[in-house]
């Protein structure tokens, strides 16, 4: 793979320690995320990958008592600074979850949910937003004739693409994806990956994945995380261009993990 | 007898006894309904349902009591459902789960066990005397409202907790505030459970006697209640008086009153159950 010329830094995580109650889940995490790239986070289960995503949209704050030391910035603005509007932050950094979680509403109402929160109510404006978002998520063709049917009647893969459309309708700048394909079959997975390929032209994507081939396929940068033992905090072992991480990693642990999984 | 055959016999016996037990629990309800129908349906004339009592209530109708109970149920629901639902929302969606919420929940559980006559005295002290509402529909509705509050809160809490956490996450991650999430995602998906609470509350409120005795109910009133500050007659209390306080009361009036009370509760319950079923059908996850 060719050398990457560095894009501007969109999100910067600087020396972050993170605690759930008294449990230290992350230690000394620093990652620079370039804009308009796909950055993948890999590592064994429980090493803190989902937690790293949460730091960026402050979703951990709805999960009880947590504590963060260090700094996280979006476009060089500290997102934990006093006075930062979490609601606005979350409309700039969207999240796709592991299990597709459409609301039990119509397809249309799912996609229109975010724009309506922002007070955009006119039917014609919403129609336009919904169509555009569904097209970006590569779902439009399949659902354009049944926008008023329940989202729950879609297949798992369609539901996940609907969740992507729902997030896109808010026009975020960054999209966090937490193992978005782990509940999907290979065909649906392929469709999501194709979608990501297109999306990165306009968005910055950070994806957590269990599937190393997927990380290798879709991302430009990869971070490998690890915990020494259960109860220890998760650490970032290595971060760099995906081509390098997968071919000649600097760290022994990275190599072991990657070769172990690749078989 | 072979081992297998013996098991089959046991199976049969178990089946029979379990079925019997199930029938036994349903039996009292059915017996009561049939009994009331047999004894009371003769009294159910249009005049009985729509007329005023006459001759010291020994003839005429029970319309004021029906209307009074109807008003009381409405008043109770108007007070207890919003307050109970808001309290449940606070407990499940807003409050940090900890000692405070545990204490509140314990208090609610205990409220449910307080005898209703105590609520009656409480309502007399607080609403009738201290807040100077007098014996009135308002005082009675508020007293009944407090009495059914634990039922409403518990049902609403269960309904709210049944909404998958992933819906809240999705909404918050899209930039919704907590209140927007509650209003647009959590409440619409828990409405059928909240209606269940309302049904139970109605059942309790319509049949309650002790709590209304000191706060609203009148033995006999020549006129229908005209405002929330009016006294009113009510079916359960009317039933109590015609059954115990008036010598020489015709049987038909007693049974008829009981039957009307039962039918009224069934009517409310059925309506709410239908509404609930409508919402149910739309919900699937
Ligand atoms: N809400 C939470 N409360 C307490 N501990 C949590 C919570 N979420 C995650 N953890 C703990 O933090 C560690 C990292 O979890 P997570 O970020 O989910 O890892 P991963 O996504 O890599 O599997 C785990 O030990 C997990 O048990
Ligand atoms: Mg995870």
Number of domains comprising chain A:
1
Protein residues whose CB sits closer than 6 Å to any atom of ligand 1: A 20, 23, 25, 45-51, 63, 234
Cα–Cα distance, A242 to A236 (Å, whole number): 15
CB A154, CB A186: distance < 8 Å = no
Q: Which CATH number is correct for B62-281, 1.10.3720.10, 2.60.120.860, 3.30.70.120, 3.40.190.10? A: 1.10.3720.10
Q: How confident is the model at residue A3 (pLDDT cuts 50, 70, 90)?
A: low
Each residue of B235-274: b (16+ CB within 10 Å) or e? bbbbbbbbeeebeebeebbbbbbbbbbbebbeebbeebee
Q: How confident is the model at residue A64 (pLDDT cuts 50, 70, 90)?
A: confident
Question: What would the mean pLDDT of A107-136 be, rounded to a whole number?
Answer: 95
* pTM of the complete model: 0.85
Give domain status of residue A91, yes or no: yes
In this structure, which residue's CA is closest to atom 21 in ligand 1? A50
Residue A184's CATH number: 3.40.50.300
pLDDT score of A263: 37
Partners of residue B185 in chain A, C-beta under 8 Å: 103
Partners of residue A133 in chain B, C-beta under 8 Å: none
ipTM above 0.85, yes or no: yes
Q: How confident is the model at residue B69 (pLDDT cuts 50, 70, 90)?
A: very high
Give domain status of residue A152, yes or no: no
* pLDDT over 90 percentage in chain A: 87
CB B130, CB B142: distance < 8 Å = no
Instruction: Name the residue with tokens 């009331």.
Output: B36
Q: Give the gap in angstroms from C-alpha A84 to the nearest C-alpha of chain B.
A: 13
In this structure, which residue's CA is closest to atom 9 in ligand 1? A51
* Structure tokens that stand for A49 in this block: 């990958």
Give domain status of residue A144, yes or no: no
Q: Over 80: is that where the pLDDT of A60 sits?
A: yes
Cα–Cα distance, B220 to B238 (Å, whole number): 8
B94 interfaces chain A, CB cutoff of 8 Å: no
Partners of residue B96 in chain A, C-beta under 8 Å: 64
Give domain status of residue A163, yes or no: no
User: Domain of A42?
Assistant: 9-100+173-258
CB A204, CB A36: distance < 8 Å = yes
The verdict on a CB contact (< 8 Å) between A101 and B164 is yes
**A33 CA from centroid of ligand 2 (Å):** 19
CB B196, CB B159: distance < 8 Å = yes
Q: Which residues of A touch B (CB under 8 A)?
A: 57, 59, 62, 64, 87-88, 90-91, 94-95, 97, 99, 101-104, 113-114, 117-118, 150, 152, 163, 166-167, 170
Residues comprising chain A, all counted? 263
The verdict on a CB contact (< 8 Å) between A99 and B174 is no
The verdict on a CB contact (< 8 Å) between A163 and B170 is yes
Each residue of A169-186: b (16+ CB within 10 Å) or e? bbbbbbbbbbbbbebbee
CB B280, CB A104: distance < 8 Å = no
Domain boundaries, chain B: 62-281
**pLDDT digit string, tens, across residues A69-96:** 999 999 999 999 999 999 999 999 999 9
């Amino acid at each position: 793979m060719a050398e990457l010329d560095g894009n501007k830094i969109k999100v910067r995580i600087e020396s972050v320690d993170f605690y759930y109650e008294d449990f230290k889940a992350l230690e000394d995490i620093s990652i620079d995320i370039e804009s308009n790239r796909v950055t993948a986070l890999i590592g064994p289960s429980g090493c803190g990958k989902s937690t790293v995503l949460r730091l960026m949209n402050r979703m951990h704050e709805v999960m009880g008592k947590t504590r963060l030391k260090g700094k996280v910035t979006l476009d060089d603005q500290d997102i934990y600074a006093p006075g930062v509007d979490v609601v606005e932050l979350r409309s700039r950094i969207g999240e796709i979850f592991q299990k597709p979680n459409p609301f039990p509403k119509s397809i249309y109402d799912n996609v229109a949910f975010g724009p309506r929160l922002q007070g955009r109510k006119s039917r014609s404006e919403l129609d336009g937003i919904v169509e555009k978002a569904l097209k970006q998520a590569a779902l439009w063709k399949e659902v354009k004739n049944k926008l008023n049917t329940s989202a729950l009647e879609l297949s798992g893969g369609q539901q996940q693409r609907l969740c992507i459309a729902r997030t896109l309708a808010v026009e975020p700048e960054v999209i966090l994806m937490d193992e978005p394909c782990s509940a999907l079959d290979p065909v649906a997975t392929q469709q999501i990956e194709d979608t990501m390929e297109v999306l990165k032209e306009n968005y910055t994507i950070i994806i957590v994945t269990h599937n190393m081939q997927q990380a290798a396929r879709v991302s430009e940068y990869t971070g490998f995380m690890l915990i020494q033992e259960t109860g220890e905090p998760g650490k970032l072992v290595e971060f760099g261009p995906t081509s390098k991480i997968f071919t000649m990693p600097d760290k022994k642990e990275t190599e072991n993990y990657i070769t172990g999984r690749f078989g | 007898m072979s081992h297998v055959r013996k098991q089959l016999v046991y199976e049969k016996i178990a089946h029979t006894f379990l079925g019997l037990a199930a029938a036994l629990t349903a039996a009292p309800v059915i017996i009561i309904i049939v009994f009331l129908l047999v004894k009371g349906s003769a009294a159910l004339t249009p005049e009985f349902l729509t007329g005023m009592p006459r001759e010291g209530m020994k003839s005429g109708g029970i319309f004021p009591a029906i209307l009074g109970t109807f008003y009381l149920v409405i008043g109770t629901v108007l007070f207890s459902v919003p307050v109970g639902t808001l309290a449940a929302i606070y407990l499940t969606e807003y409050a940090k789960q900890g000692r405070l919420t545990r204490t509140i929940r314990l208090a609610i559980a205990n409220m449910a066990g307080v005898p209703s006559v105590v609520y009656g005295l409480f309502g007399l002290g607080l609403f009738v005397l201290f807040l100077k509402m007098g014996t009135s529909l308002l005082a009675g509705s508020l007293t009944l409202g407090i009495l059914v509050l634990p039922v409403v809160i518990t049902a609403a809490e269960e309904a709210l907790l049944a909404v998958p956490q992933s819906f809240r996450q999705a909404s918050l991650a899209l930039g919704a505030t907590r209140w927007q999430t509650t209003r647009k995602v959590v409440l619409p998906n828990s409405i059928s459970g909240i209606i269940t609470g309302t049904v139970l509350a109605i059942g309790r409120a319509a049949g309650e006697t002790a709590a209304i005795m000191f706060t609203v109910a009148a033995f006999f009133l020549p006129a229908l209640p005209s405002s929330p500050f009016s006294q009113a007659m009510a079916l359960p209390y009317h039933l109590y008086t015609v059954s115990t306080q008036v010598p020489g009361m015709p049987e038909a009036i007693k049974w008829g009153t009981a039957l009307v009370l039962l039918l009224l509760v069934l009517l409310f319950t059925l309506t709410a159950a239908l509404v609930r079923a409508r919402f149910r059908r739309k919900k699937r996850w």
